[in-house]
Amino acid sequence: MEIENKSGVKTPEVKILKDGPIILKGFFRFRTSSGEETEKEHEILLCGCGKSGNKPYCDETHKKNVIKS
């Protein structure tokens, strides 16, 4: 659910999924190592299982390590 604040900007959202990633959704400012900045609405998936080969980002490794009983 996206909620707009008084200035009309969508409020950032954080979802923590059981056995999955942490999802950050909102308007972000990105800064490169050379200092260049861009701003855009984006969705970022962070690793929640600790096994991603691309930390801190989710690479969906959690899907491969599901224990089925």
Give pLDDT tens digits for 1-57. Answer: 555 556 666 788 999 998 889 999 998 888 999 999 998 999 999 999 899 999 999
Q: What is the dihedral of CA 23, 27, 31, 35, to 10 degrees?
A: -170
* Domain ranges within the chain, ordered by starting residue: 13-64
Q: Quick one: which H or E segment has residue 4?
A: none
Q: Does 59 score more than 50 pLDDT?
A: yes
- What's the first-to-final CA gap in the chain, in angstroms? 34
The pLDDT of residue 2: 54
Q: Which of the four CATH numbers 3.40.50, 1.25.40, 3.40.5, 3.30.590 does domain 13-64 have? A: 3.40.5
